Structure formats: structure tokens, C-alpha cells
Chains A and B, each alone.
Chain A
């Protein structure tokens, strides 16, 4: 029996040095030559499990078998030597090196053993590229190639190293629909050539489309393994979250009033000379959620950075309640009532080693409520933090606990607890639920709707199409730094149509786009 198994993990438990138990007695088996999905919510322990297969983490207890052989995968090197390859969610590429250099990194061909044989590196790259029909430009610098090609470079990297078992960690997260389809074709090709593929994804429809079997994890524990053809999305989602997923958010129709944020003719060229904002104009009104959809990297980040003064735009205007806020520092932006739930919560949203209390305090340390001019009022700070922990259902031991020790969802709740409670007139929510569990996601979405209905203007930027369509009252699609489409009403939007605008296959006429200015 075991000969048929490419990977077999028995009773795997993993406790991280910070005390988080990521896996508990997990059994995981992958047959040779299948595409096997590993499913679960964020934080279910999927990433940890595959990191152990690739030797990046070691199990606290349990056994791993590769092709029937009991192995100790102490480093990626060992895993590679056992024929295991991994395509990481965040690309593991060195931007300043060429595609070929990246592919041969760690196994560089040499001339007379000393100098790098650059020609040979290109030859190897092109040979594998041809053999597996994965088209890349061997001589291009990785910094300059598109995302889809970067992924192919990653797959080639694994294949060149003789991988027979390929782990793909959320490979479609960064791809367009077209790129995803291309990838699936390539994966099925690889399967037909005898490769074993382990595929991590949240997207049920993708899983149903290409996998043979799936293993489901919940809360770090094994929840069963299923033949894909014998199951359906409802069963899987119930196993994943332990209850039926509520995708719908209840909300009353918006009744927008006065303009809060006016963006006019914003232009920005980044340091590499790429135009990231191209004549962007829109108006956001009190009491509405304006969504900004688009494939990542189409100017959404720059738009948020421009409003929050992290970049200097080249031209254009940004007005808050009729007053220009260009070049206003963050302290004053916050005083004027702008809140931001940042895209990268670990980098901008929190200080990981500081306590929950200190993280809540960061934007209000000068508040007279917490200050007598010189000294802090420690009791007021403590009490308010406790209240927020209660109101925002933050699961923690005490207000003194280090934020970095919390789970992703709870960290994000700390961020929103701060950003939603400083009397904002405008909330910018940039990818507010990325990578967090369903419970926290639902909570934050409901809060956003609630706040908007209480008269706050909400700008929602999200790459999650479901989220942005579900939550927004009206919607902008950005593509190539421009506004490609504006939908005043999101109730009967079609995602295929949205896709066209997002990918630049279509653009609305000026007339329609101008409507978003509400002039």
C-alpha cells in the first residue's frame, strides 16, 4: 500500500516557539500522480503542514514518509534531494538576477569549476522551458517580468532540481483569470507526465475543477480526506468552517448625502517611471461604501498612499470636506478624521512586540482623555482597551498581551478596533479581511456596513472580488492606473463583466466614468 503514497505524514504536531499550536495529530497522505488539495480556512495549519514537507519547519512530533521511506526533512535541501519542490505563495525570487540565474541558483553551472557559465544557465532554462511548455524569458531580469511568468520561473526552479512532488501554495492568488486557466492546463500536463501535485487554495471552484482528492484541516486538526468527484462545495465548506458560511452581508440601501472625499485628476509616476495613477477622479459621499476593485498593482495602493500622504503625487487634488489635504502629515490627517485599515497589517497596522494596549494607544496618545498634559492616565487607557477587546471580540489573555502572539484575525481586530473608534469621517479599508479567518472577516464586514450606515464615508479597496461586490454600494474598477468602470449600483453586477474591466479588455465611456465625480 505505502508504495503508492508519495507523501505520508503520521500524527504530526507542531508547536511554534511563540506557543502557537499550528498542527495537532494530523495525518496526511498523498498518492503518487494525483493532484491533491489541502484545504482549510486561514490559520487552519495548511501552510505549516506543507512547510514541514518542504523541510522549512520541523514537526514537534510525528513521522513523515516520502515514497515509503521514513525521512527527517531537516532543511529544504533534504526535501529537494527527496524529489520535493515547492512554489511559494510569495515568490522566492531574487529580483536583481535574471530568470536563468534564479533558476540555476544553488546549482550553478561553472566553467572549470570557478566562474559561472552564464550561457549554460540559459541553455538549461530554455531546455526545461521547452520540455514542460512553460514559456519564460531566460535573459530578462526577474524584476521586469510579469507575475504569471514569475510563477512559471518558480515551477521551473522546482523541476530543474528534479522535483517529482510539487507543492503549490495558493498559486492562483495573484493571477488573473486567464493566467489561472493557463496554469491549470500546465498543472494537468504535469500530472499526466507522472508528477504529484499538492495544491493549496481557498477557492472552492478551483479545487473542484482540477483536483483528484482533497484533505481538509480545521483548527490545526485533520478533518478528513475526500475524493473530489464524490463531494460538493457545501460539504467541504461545512467541514472547513464547521458551519455554513454566511457570504451575504445584510445591508440597507445607502442614502449618501454630502461629499466627504473629493479626488480630482490625480497623476502619479513612480520612481521606475511607470504611471501608476492616471487622471483619477471620484467623489465619496457620507453614508456610502465606495468599492475599488481591480487586479493588484493597478494603482489602488498608490491611490491609498496618496490620500494618506505616503507618496507625493505629481498633480491633482485631494479634498476632505472641501479642504485640501495634499501634503498633510498623518497626524493631521487623523485629526481631520481619516482612518486607515492598512493593506499590510504586520508592517503598518501594529507594533508586533508591543501590547494590545499600546497598539490601541498609538493614534490617541495625545488625547486629553488619556493625558493630563504630562503623565498618562493609565487607568483610562486600561479601561478603554478592555472595553474595545470586549466590543471587538478580540481573543486574548489580557490587554498586556503582545499583539504579535495573536492570530491573524485577532490582530486585524486590534487594528480595526483602533481605526473604527477615533471618530472618523472617512474610513479607508485596504484589503480589510485579507488572510484572516471567516469569523473575523464576517465581523469586520458587518462593522464596515454598520459604520457607513451611521454616516461615515467608507472607501473599500479589495482584491477579493466577492468582498468588494458584496459590500460596496457603488463601485470603481481600476486598471492600469485609470478608472476603467464605475457602477452606481452593485446589486446585479456580473463578475464576468467585471473581469473584462479589471483585465483591461474593456473600458466604459467617459460619460459613465464621469458620473463618479457627482458634480
Chain B
């Protein structure tokens, strides 16, 4: 298939997957919306759909919803980083699902540094972010080392680590680090100079974190496609035996990929804390790790597409939140929409018939051009 046809196909496919997801969403909204008559339900559905699909960017009167837009950008930060983390780890064919626990861990470590370390401005946020990122790197390297050295499934171990991290952080939060002057469970406030500067007003919570995240996207994209480390990570993901035979140190790159993934996931937590919070108060896993998996799938494991995919997911998230405000439909609808998009998007055979048609067309054209059939046995 030539490049143009391949592009046509992947765009069609993306649009179709999103369309199906919205169709499913509409159905669920219709069923779940209040109203005694079909007509009432129908109009409620329209209200909900409008809030979800258009609401994040346009107010009811049609004016641009600047605040909504900035909130979406702010929301992109953590899921871009978990998305990148998953992209790197999946590229190496490592199904490490620990970015969920990883982002919580990174957030907590960053919080502790930002509260207790007597460091000057500028240095403090940098140390806090790097501290959280490196600590998480070490955390996700646990399943990586066990995989590389003993062949234990990184998937199961990383899932277990998510739970362990959550309980241990809760334990520490409840005992040693709780601010007992507050009505709810949270740490002391971060030192004022640890917080990341806001890009616009404090209200939208859009911080410098977005810029940092975008720079990180560019760096990761470069590392993955323009350096031998990224190349080797991708090769072990494509074919481990081939990589070993080629002289690539497979165990090292298994660990590197997951360490890098951990670093990125942890940084997601760090930026989230210093950009949008003044104290740590997460008591359960935040869900950004799973959204990161969706982002990675939507981006086709290519770091360059991560911002786009993250924007889409953040938009949907914001849309579902708007929807639950303006209608009776619960915001958790997003988990179902996300799953549907994800399922179709990751489906190789989705629209396979259409692809086959394009392929045949290309093959016939090739054959004509070469004036002889290109042939191969059916292995």
C-alpha cells in the first residue's frame, strides 16, 4: 500500500472508532437520562451530548470557553506523561501497567521533598520533580529487573505494585505526614516557592508543567527514533531473539525501557502536584495510568502523537464532567467511552475489508507498473 492510501486508511479508521464510541455513548446517555417520555429523554440526551461534545470549548451562548480550554490543557499534563511512559514501555513489548501506581508514587515523593527540603527557589521545584521522577524510575525497575533476570511477568508484578504503593502511601499519609490541623487527610502545604509558575491565572491551574511536558514529548520522540537507545528499545519490542542475536543487550534494554517509563510516569505525578495542588491529598489511585494506556494506543505507540491523543482524552474527560453538571448523566461514562475507543482502535481487523480493498488496488497497480506480477509463496 502506498503512503497516501495508508494515511487515508488510518484517518478513516480513527474517525470510525471515535464515531462508534460516541454512538455507544449516545445510547447510554439516552438510557440513563431522566425523563418520563421519549421526547423528554431525547431532549435531555441532546443537552448531555451538547455538554459533552461542545461544552468544553463553547459556552451555551456560543462564545469560546477559554477557561474550559485552559483546563483541558492543564489536564493533558499528567496523561501526556503517563501516555509517554506507556508508549516507551509498550514499544519494548513490556506490558508494565505500573504507571498508575507510578504517578501516585511520584506525586507523593515530590510532595515530601517540596514540603520538607530547605532548598532555595528554582532549585526546589527542580529537585522535587527530579526526586519524584527518579524514585518512580526505581520503583518500576523492580518488575523490570525481575523480568530481565528471572523472566517473571512484569504485567502481574506491576499491577501488584500499584496496590502496594497505594496502601503504603495511605499508611504514611495517615501516620507520619498528615497535617492534623486540617479537616481532611492531606499533607502540610508545599513550600510556596516549590510551586510551578502558572501560565495564566491561578484559577485554571495551567502551569509551566505543560511546557515541560511538551519539551519532554520532543525529547522522548527524539530518543525513540533518533538515538541508538530508543532504536534498541524498539527492536527488543519487535523481536527479542533478533535483538539478542544482533548483539543488543536485551536485559539492559528491558530494564531501561521500564526505568524510563517509571521516570516519565513519576514526572507526571510531580508536575501534577506542583502545578495544580498546594498539598498532597490523593488517597486512591488517580486513574491517569490507565488513561495513559489509552493515550499510548491512540498514539500508535509513537511519542510524537501523544499530545494529540492526550488532548483528545482530556477533552473527553472535561466533556463528561460538563455533561454530569448539566444533565443527570454520571461522569464515569468516560470509562466506557474510553474502553470502546480503545477496543476498536487497537483492533487490527477493524475495517479490514476496506483495507484489503485498498491493498488489492495497490497490488494490481504495482503489478501493472512492473508489467509482471510480484510473487511470493504463502508462508
When distances are taken between beta carbons in the complex, the residues of chain B under 8 Å from A363 are 246-247
Q: Give the shortest distance, in Å, between B160 (CB) and chain A (any CB).
A: 30
Partner of A18, one of B232, B243, B359: B359
- Decide if A17 touches B242 in the complex (CB within 8 Å): no
CB of A19 to closest CB in B, whole Å: 4
**In chain A, what residue has the closest Cβ to B244?**
A330
Contacts A350-B239, A351-B242 hold; do A21 and B222 have CB atoms under 8 A apart?
A: no
The reply to whether A365 and B367 contact each other, CB–CB distance below 8 Å, is no
A51 B378 Cβ-Cβ under 8 A? yes
* Cβ contact within 8 Å between A60 and B359: no
> Least Cβ distance of B148 to chain A in Å?
14
Is the Cβ of B245 less than 8 Å from the Cβ of A348? Answer: yes
In the bound complex, CA of A126 to CA of B241 (Å): 42
Q: Are B245 and A342 in contact (CB under 8 A)?
A: yes
Which of B99-107, B204-212, B320-328, B369-377 contacts its partner?
B369-377
Q: What residues of chain A lie closer than 8 Å to B367, measured between beta carbons? A: 21
Asked if A95 is at the interface of the complex by the 8 Å CB criterion, the answer is no
Surface stretch bound by A, among B78-86, B180-188, B223-231: B223-231
With A349-B242, A365-B228 known as contacts, the answer to whether A219 contacts B372 (CB < 8 A) is: yes
Query: In the complex, are the beta carbons of B245 and A42 less than 8 A apart?
Result: no
Q: Closest Cβ of chain A: how far from B270's Cβ, in Å?
A: 25
Contact A354 B238 (CB under 8 A): yes
A329 within 8 A of B: yes
Q: Are B231 and A220 in contact (CB under 8 A)?
A: no
Is B360 engaged at the interface, CB distance under 8 Å to the other chain? yes
Nearest-neighbour CB distance to chain A for B61, whole angstroms, equals: 50
Q: Which of B242, B247, B355, B376 contacts A43 (CB 8 A)?
A: B376
Q: Hey, what's the 0/1 contact readout for A353-381 against B, CB within 8 Å counting as 1?
A: 11000100111011000010011101000
Least CB separation from A376: chain B residue? B226
A331 touches B226 (CB 8 A): no
Q: Mark A262-297, 1 if CB is under 8 A from B, else 0.
A: 000000000000000000000000000000000000
Query: Are A16 and B235 in contact, CB atoms less than 8 angstroms apart?
Result: no
CB atoms of B377 and A60 under 8 A apart: no
Cβ of B378 and Cβ of A340 under 8 Å apart? no
B376 touches A408 (CB 8 A): yes
Enumerate chain B residues within 8 angstroms of A141, measured Cβ to Cβ. Answer: none
Could you tell me if A45 and B378 are in contact, using CB atoms closer than 8 angstroms? yes
Contact between chains at B228 and A371 (CB < 8 Å) = yes
Interface assignment of B8: CB less than 8 Å from any CB of chain A: no
Whether the Cβ atoms of B375 and A20 lie closer than 8 Å is yes
* A333 CB to nearest chain B CB (Å): 7
Least Cβ–Cβ distance between B233 and chain A, in angstroms: 11
How far is A22 from B373 in the complex, measured between Cα atoms in Å?
Answer: 9
User: Given the interface contacts A22-B375, A365-B228, does A340 sit within 8 Å of B249 by beta carbon?
Assistant: no
Among the interface residues A333, A351, A361, which one has the most CB atoms of the partner chain B within 10 A? A351
Report yes or no: B227 in contact with A374, Cβ–Cβ below 8 A. Answer: yes
B226 in contact with A45 (CB, 8 Å): no
In contact, B363 and A47 (Cβ under 8 angstroms): no
Q: Are A17 and B231 in contact (CB under 8 A)?
A: no
Which residue of chain A is the closest to B356 with respect to CB atoms? Answer: A17
Q: How far is the CA of A47 from the CA of B377 in the complex (A)?
A: 6
A376 interface neighbour in B1, B227, B372, B373, Cβ under 8 Å: B227
Chain A contacts of B241 at CB under 8 A?
Answer: 347-348
Mask of A31-53 contacts with B, CB within 8 angstroms, 1/0: 00000000000111111100100
A351 contacts which chain B residues (CB < 8 A)? 235, 238-239, 242-243
The chain B residue with its CB closest to the CB of A410 is: B376
A348, B247: Cβ atoms closer than 8 Å: no
Given A331-B248, A349-B242, A362-B235, A19 and B1 touching (CB < 8 A)? Answer: yes
Contacts of B246 on A, CB cut-off 8 Å?
330, 334, 362-363
Contact A43 B238 (CB under 8 A): no
B362 adjacent to chain A (CB < 8 Å) = yes
Considering the chains assembled together, what is the distance between the CA atoms of A114 and B367 in angstroms? 54
B249 to chain A, nearest CB (A): 6
Q: Which of A22, A332, A349 lies in contact with B376, CB distance below 8 A? A: A22
* Docked-complex contact A340 and B245, CB < 8 angstroms: yes
A residues within 8 A CB of B352? 17
By a CB distance below 8 angstroms, the chain B residues around A44 are 375, 377
Task: Tell me which residues across on chain A come within 8 A of B372, comparing CB atoms.
Answer: 219
A to B contact number (C-beta, < 8 Å): 130
Determine the chain B residues whose CB is within 8 A of the CB of A362 once the complex forms.
Answer: 235, 242-243, 246-248
B373:A24 contact, CB within 8 angstroms = yes
B379 is an interface residue with CB less than 8 A from chain A: yes
What residues of B have a CB within 8 angstroms of the CB of A199 in the complex? none
Residues 219-231 of chain A: 1 if any B CB is under 8 Å from the residue's CB, otherwise 0?
1110000000000
0 or 1 for each of B337-379: is its CB under 8 Å from A? (1 = yes): 0000000000000001001100110110011000011111111
A464 within 8 Å of B by Cβ? no
In the assembled complex, how far is the CB of residue B85 from the closest CB belonging to chain A, in whole angstroms? Answer: 22
Most B C-beta atoms less than 10 A away, residue of A18, A19, A363: A19
Q: When the two chains form their complex, are residues A20 and B242 in contact, meaning their CB atoms are under 8 A apart? A: no
Do the beta carbons of A376 and B231 come within 8 Å of each other?
Answer: yes
User: Is the CB–CB distance between A20 and B226 below 8 Å?
Assistant: no
Q: Is the Cβ of B247 less than 8 Å from the Cβ of A408?
A: no
A14 is an interface residue with CB less than 8 A from chain B = yes
Q: Name the B residues within 8 Å of A352 (CB-CB).
A: 238-239
Query: What is the bound-complex CA distance between A60 and B361, given in angstroms?
Result: 13
Across the interface, do A48 and B377 meet the contact criterion of CB distance under 8 Å? Answer: yes
Cα distance, A349 to B239, chains bound together (Å):
10
Q: Does A57 contact B (CB under 8 A)?
A: yes
The one of B234, B235, B249, B363 in contact with A21, judged by C-beta atoms closer than 8 angstroms, is: B363
Decide: A348 and B375 in contact? CB cutoff 8 A.
Answer: no
Q: For B222, list chain A residues within 8 Å (CB).
A: 375
Nearest-neighbor residue (CB-CB) of B349 within chain A: A17
Closest to A370 in B: B228
Q: Find residues 463-486 in chain A having any chain B CB closer than 8 Å to their own CB.
A: none
* A331 and B249 within 8 A (CB): yes
Partner pick for A354 among B228, B235, B248, B366, CB 8 A cutoff:
B235
- Contact string against A for B residues 89-131, beta-carbon threshold 8 Å, 1 for contact and 0 otherwise: 0000000000000000000000000000000000000000000
Residues of B within 8 A of A490 (CB): none
Q: For A17, what are the chain B residues with a Cβ–Cβ distance below 8 Å?
A: 352, 355-356, 359
* CB atoms of B379 and A408 under 8 A apart: yes
**A60 vs B226: C-alpha distance in the bound complex, in angstroms?**
41
With a cutoff of 8 Å between Cβ atoms, the chain B residues found around residue A16 in the complex are 376, 378
Assembly CA distance A26 to B246 (angstroms): 41
A487 within 8 A of partner (CB) = no
User: Please, which residue of chain B has its CB at the minimum distance from the CB of A365?
Assistant: B228
Question: Closest Cβ of chain A: how far from B368's Cβ, in Å?
Answer: 12
- Asked whether, in the complex, the Cβ of A333 is within 8 Å of the Cβ of B356, the reply is no
Q: Which residues of B contact A22 (CB under 8 A)?
A: 375-378
Do residues B245 and A376 form an inter-chain contact, with CB atoms below 8 A?
Answer: no
Min CB–CB distance B371 → chain A (angstroms): 12
In the complex, what residues of A have CB within 8 A of residue B1's CB?
19
* Least distance between B359 CB and chain A CB atoms (Å): 5
Which residue in chain B gives the minimum CB-CB distance to A331?
B247
Bound-state Cα–Cα, A335 to B244, Å:
14
- Asked if A308 is at the interface of the complex by the 8 Å CB criterion, the answer is yes
A-B contact pairs, 18 of them (CB 8 A): A17-B356, A22-B377, A43-B376, A44-B377, A47-B378, A60-B360, A329-B247, A330-B245, A331-B249, A342-B245, A347-B242, A348-B242, A351-B242, A354-B238, A362-B242, A362-B246, A407-B374, A407-B375
Shortest beta-carbon contacts, A-B, top 8: A48-B378, A331-B247, A351-B238, A362-B246, A365-B228, A220-B375, A351-B239, A43-B377
| A residues lining the B interface (CB < 8 Å) | 14-22, 24, 42-48, 51, 57, 60, 219-221, 308, 329-335, 340, 342, 347-354, 358, 361-363, 365-366, 371, 374-376, 378, 407-408, 435
Besides A342-B245, A352-B239, 5 other A-B contacts (C-beta < 8 A)? A332-B247, A349-B242, A371-B228, A375-B227, A435-B379
